[in-house]
Amino acid sequence: MLKPTNISTYLKGVSQVVSNQVNTGKQIAILPTKTVVQIPFAGTSPVALSKALPNGNVNITSGPAATSQVRWAHTDITVPDWSNYRRDSVKSPDVKSSGTEDSRKNFSYLMAGALGVTSAYATKSVVTQFVSSMSATADVLALAKIEIKLSDIPAGKSVTFKWRGKPLFIRHRTDAEIQAEQSVPVSSLRDPQHDNERVKDPKWLVVLGVCTHLGCVPINNAGDFGGYYCPCHGSHYDASGRIRKGPAPLNLEVPEYSFPSDDLLIVG
């Protein structure tokens, strides 16, 4: 039975938060089946409005040649804000950017230049560090050279040193020996080399004591030519270290050496 107090609940169009046990049977809300957004026409200007009015003759053109593309305006795309990346001096829209152009350019160029130089120096030091790690160590370099005090070697005497694991012959030649070697005709030699090509100072002959035949150590002041004689197979070298007789094909090797002073010889 309907009581008068209950009738009003049937007439209400609102939903009930707290149920009063009366089923009103109303739908709370009706959602549209599809969303349609229609933007009503709004004239932009009298001229535009006037131009938009047809004069009555209306026709429709379609076909492959008629433009049929459709462009939608996507209003949900936000335009990115680049303010964080811009200089303070050009942020204001009221200020001419040409006024601060010089100072901005100076700053840019200075920063670019300074950073360029710094990075070039840093690169150089890093590269140097890695490259120098590949070169010989200090102890190896120390063994690579030998210093010889020449005043200890009397004239006409040949002294043997150990240099880089090999015998090294230093010969203080006499004037007669020099004269003899200078006058040897080059064409008669097996390995043609003039004496001047083999010595920097004619008084001093510096050669490696390794026979060019099979690597034996020749004997000083021996052989047919007064120079060196290899006892293994009988190669004769003269006082310029040149091969004169025997099986060896080449002259004794002359290493790198220099005379920093009159009394000092450095080999290597």
Partner 1 sequence: MASSIVKTPLIRIVSARGYSQLAPISGIQNYEIKSSVLSNKLVVAAGDNESAITRISIVFRSIHKNSSQFAITRNIQQVGANLTATSDRETIAYTLEGTRAAVEKALPFLTEVATQQVFKPWEVSDVSNRILLEIATRPLQLRAVDLLHNAAFRTGLGNSLFVPKSQIGKISSETLQHYVASNFLSGRAAVIGLGVSSGELTQYAQSLKINTGDGCLNPSPYKGGELRSNKGGDVAFVAVAGEGAGLKDSKEALAFAVLQRAVGIGPQIKYSTRDNGILTKTIGSAQEYAAAAINVSYFDSGLFGVLLALPSKCSRKVVESAVKLLTSSTVSDEDVTRGKNQLKAALLLDAESGANAIHNFGTQAVLLQCLQTRARSLGRRLYNYKRCQ
Site string for partner 1, 66-105 (x = CB under 8 A): x-x-x-----------------------------------
Options 74, 194, 233, 236, the catalytic residue: 233
Whether 259 and 265 have beta carbons less than 8 Å apart is answered as: yes
Q: Which is nearer to partner 1, 52 or 114 (CB)?
A: 52
Phi, psi of 120 (to 5 degrees): -65, -45
Whether 212 and 252 have beta carbons less than 8 Å apart is answered as: yes
Q: Tokens standing for 43?
A: 């004239």
* Residue 51 makes contact with partner 1 by CB under 8 A: yes
Q: Which is nearer to partner 1, 11 or 58 (CB)?
A: 58
CB 74, min distance to partner 1, A: 17
* Residue 63 makes contact with partner 1 by CB under 8 A: yes
* Residue 62 makes contact with partner 1 by CB under 8 A: yes
Among 5, 27, 38, 187, binds partner 1 (CB under 8 A): 38
Active site residue 213: no
HEC profile of 182-224: HCCCHHHCCCCCCHHHHCCCCCEEEEECCCCCCCCCCEECCCC
Q: What is the DSSP letter of 104?
A: H
CB 49, min distance to partner 1, A: 4
* Residue 59 makes contact with partner 1 by CB under 8 A: yes
Please list the active-site residues. 233
Contacts with partner 1 by CB under 8 A lie at 38, 40-43, 46-47, 49-66, 68, 70
